[in-house]
Structure 1
Amino acid sequence: MSNRSAVLLVEDDAEISELISLYLENNGMSVTRLATGEGLDAKLTGGAFDLLILDLNLPGEDGFSICRRVRAAHDIPIIIVTAQGEDVDKILGLEMGADDYVVKPFNSRELLARIRAVLRRAEPQSQAAGTLPSQSFLFLGWRVNLLSREVVSPSGIKVAMTGAEFDLLHAFCENPNRVLTRDQLINMTHGPTAGPYQRSIDVLISRLRQKLEKDPKNPAMIQTVRSEGYMLSAPVSRA
């Protein structure tokens, strides 16, 4: 995470937009504000932003549509901020590619904690003193590089991953052929800011299967263990 993270905020409520901006700027971030999705693509071109905060109820193109479109074209982390607290809205936001969500009204400190957590997950790990030049997991031809946070397929193609998806795959690689409950996966990937929302893990599992499995509907690698959790069914080695 850079010393001064650049945040792009899309929020049509001027008062809320101002409050979020002031709070984040007072905590060392720079904020660019938009009231609608218009002009968003131009802003994202060039990768000048570290994070997108996106309201769902926007005039014109709604936040769900924007989230899906941005995720298809960019790897930027996305946090949804919305007054829609129903589970179905949270699930849909995650399915569209969001990394996290915050329900209005929210505590500013909670929003800041979630932003920092998402930025940490998206940041390539620096090479600490004494670590090996390369630290990767290998399984079934796949390579998961922990330093660059890149995932490379058996055919040598880099597969784009959100921060949350990468952390979930990392957790499985650390615990191959071991059943992990939803609570364990939440603690390993999101930490204490995640809350008790277990369905978020189910959505991330589905997204991960779409990227890794030959047949996501009949997964061979990331298997569901009924009434228990999920398991990476593959031998894993380090390189």
Structure 2
Amino acid sequence: MLSPKTILIVEDEPTSLEAMGGYFEVEGYRVIRAENSDEMERALARHKIDLMVLDLRLPGKDGLTLLRELRSHSDLPVIVVSARTDDIDHIVALEIGADDYLDKPVNLRELLVRVRNVLWRCERRAPEEATAQPTRIGFEGWVLDTGARRLFAADGGDVRLTRGEFELLVYLIRRAGQVLERDQLLDCLSSREWQPYDRSVDVLIGRLRSKIEKTPKDPRLIVTVHGVGYVFLGSLHRAEAP
């Protein structure tokens, strides 16, 4: 029998925390509860967490700060929930590395579906990653190591990619010269549930450009095809590790 998935819920409002926690426990998940950053960090250190639900408004460090710190060393799937309804908060959370975003008050059934989709997509990608032949792909001075999931600059410096950035860059590179629509690119991301008008691809493209383009506002590697999507135009070659 498979062990239940473990979800960490970080929420400072006791009623919301218990509502979400109790709902997921009834659905068969193991739930770890945290009300602030200290409790969250202890939970991450003590338990194997499969997914985190993170509120933005927390005492001490807020959710965006915690997410930024987490993404410096972990690709743990994170769904942000927040009473902040401004579009800028959605965009910033996705730019930092959130896998999904839900406004409060949260519909628990919708949250459950999103959690299931994120976990399912991560599980679906895991066997492919385990059996994929590691390669090192060079382009315009960069080296992408698909086995180690690392990107190296011309000087050998290691540029960290989030899971979504890595998956998107590999997908674009392996289809270099081919114009790809946004829904195609969304489908390659293990942690995203496809939604109409989803801006996740645009956010990830912006993040990749800031890391690999000499002039991100005038990109030469990942080029926009207006009304369609994106195309990778870098010159590729086999490469050795830096």
TM range, smaller chain: 0.7 to 0.9
For 2:224 and 2:86, the matched residues in 1 are separated by: 26
What is the count of residue pairs matched by the alignment? Answer: 234
1:67 is aligned to 2:40: no
1-side partners of 2:49 and 2:210: how far apart?
27
C-alpha spacing 1:57/1:120, structure 2 compared with 1 (3 Å): same
Equivalent in the alignment of 2:20 = 20
Aligned identity (percent) is 37
The match for 1:43 is: 43
CA distance in 2 between counterparts of 1:175 and 1:187 reads: 14
2:126 aligned with 1:125, yes or no?
A: yes
Tell me what 1:80 maps to. Answer: 80
Tell me how far apart the structure 2 counterparts of residues 88 and 193 of structure 1 sit (CA, whole Å).
Answer: 20
Structure-2 change in CA distance of 1:166 and 1:29 (3 Å): farther
Q: Which whole-Å deviations, capped at 9, do the CAs of 1:17-72 have from their partners, x for residues lacking one?
A: 11221222233322111112233333323673222211112233222222222222
Other structure's SS at 2:75 match: coil
Find out whether 1:165 has 2:161 as its counterpart. no
SS of 2:4's equivalent? coil
State how far apart, in whole Å, the 2-side matches of 1:32 and 1:114 are. 18
Q: What secondary structure does 1:126 align onto?
A: helix
Question: Does structure 2 retain, via aligned residues, the 8 Å contact 1:137–1:236?
Answer: no
Displacement of 1:159 in angstroms is 5.1
Aligned equivalents of 1:111 and 1:222: distance in 2? 33
Give ranges in structure 2 of 5+ residues lacking alignment. none
Would the aligned equivalents of 1:23 and 1:108 in 2 still touch at CA under 8 Å? yes
Q: Give the CA RMSD over aligned residues.
A: 3.4
Whole-angstrom CA distance in 1 between matches of 2:176 and 2:31: 40
Q: Which moved more, 1:133-142 or 1:8-17?
A: 133-142
Q: Secondary structure at the match of 1:189?
A: coil
Equivalent residue number for residue 195 of structure 2: 195
> Deviations along 1:163-195, whole A, 9 cap, x unmatched?
332332243234321222334433443799332
After superposition, residues 153-232 of structure 1 pair within 5 angstroms as 153=152, 160-189=160-189, 193-232=193-232
User: Mean alpha-carbon deviation: is it higher for 160-169 or for 148-157?
Assistant: 148-157
Contact 1:171/1:189, CA 8 A, preserved across alignment = no
TM-score of the superposed pair, with normalisation by structure 2: 0.76
Alpha-carbon offset, residue 149 of structure 1:
7.7
Q: Given that residues 34 and 43 in structure 2 are in contact (C-alpha distance below 8 angstroms), is that contact kept between their aligned partners in structure 1? A: no
Deviations along 1:69-99, one digit per CA (max 9) or x if unpaired, are: 2222433222101122332221011122212
CA distance in 2, matches of 1:164, 1:192: 9
Structure 2 vs 1, CA of residues 192 and 74 (structure 1 numbering), >3 Å: closer, same or farther? closer
Residue-by-residue CA offset, 1:144-173 (whole Å, 9 max, x unaligned): 53xx68244366776543333233224323
Counterpart of 1:54 in structure 2 is 54
CA contact (8 A) 1:80 1:100 kept: yes
Per the TM alignment, residue 231 of structure 1 is displaced from its structure 2 partner at its CA by 1.3
Confirm or deny: 8 A CA contact 1:121 1:167 kept in the other structure: no
Q: What is the CA–CA distance in structure 2 between the aligned matches of 1:157 and 1:134, rounded to whole Å?
A: 24
Question: Secondary structure at the residue paired with 1:125?
Answer: helix
8 Å contact kept, 1:99–1:163: no
Q: CA deviation at 1:10?
A: 0.6
